[in-house]
Structure 1
Amino acid sequence: MPKINWETYRKLIPDKKIVDDLKSDLEKYKVPYPEDTLTPKIEEQWKALQPEIEKFCAEQDKEIEKATKELNRVKALPKFEDMTMEMFYDFYPDEALDPVNRPTFWPHNPEEQPGYQTPEQKTMKKGGGH
């Protein structure tokens, strides 16, 4: 409980005995509080979780580092308006059009190329269909 300044009450109340009785009654009164049995269990659970939390944080730090590297790489690229097809080929050789090594037919999307299979056909081929 907060500290009570009894001297202030003695100055305000004309009968000092009332203040003394109230003080003695309040000192005698004890509020029954239940015994705390859960705090040790909770602390034990936190200690058990600490390694998992640290592992998760380390994994997230690695992901953040990878994302930061990728972001810096993207920021270092030339602007879209300034990039030529040759520059695109240098930066992304697997995605750029390569008419010599990998010729494609107009409109150069996967659906229009010879041998294209829909995702459903690929699933059926792997034995995933019914």
Structure 2
Amino acid sequence: MAKRIVQSSVNWAAIAERAPETEKAAFLAFKAKSDGYLRKMLSAPAEPPKIDFAKYKSTIAVAGLVDNFEKQYSAVKIPYPEDKYTAAIINDEKKTVQEIEKFKVQSAQSIKEAELRIEEIGKLLPYSQMTYEDAAYIEPDLTIDIDNKPSFWPHTEEDYIFDEPEAADNQQIGEQKKVDAGH
């Protein structure tokens, strides 16, 4: 005979704790729908009602009709659905637990590296006492390299070092020289 489900195996309290505030209404609607299905299933009897075939044999005059129906009725077997998903869910849970453990190890390594970096930074000179040479020695990637990286991002014109004046300035300087030469 089919296994009778007595109560829901869902831990609604645990799900409610994890549901974000924005999804509470959807969660409550889903829980209400699930509870409705469970109530409907529990309202049905565990066994189908018994049919009194002897009573029908005595009242129905057609010979063999009730016997044929009784034979067909007793042959009907409604199978309980086979559980195909529990093993897959357990395997997925094991994989997830392994991934979580792997993530914990990676996170612990990242935390350890960050703590070492914080310790290194703590041993540095205070920034108020640090010179540009000190900063270039400690963090060469963060300092200006005139040959390869002439400015910091966002690379505005003020950040560039110009050896030659602008073209307009050159013309003005040339004209100034002509004026000066005429005097």
Shared fold per TM-score greater than 0.5: no
TM-score class, shorter = 0.3 to 0.5
Whose RCO is larger (CA < 8 A, sep 6+)? 2
Which structure has the bigger radius of gyration?
Answer: 2
TM-score (norm 1): 0.44
TM-score (norm 2): 0.33
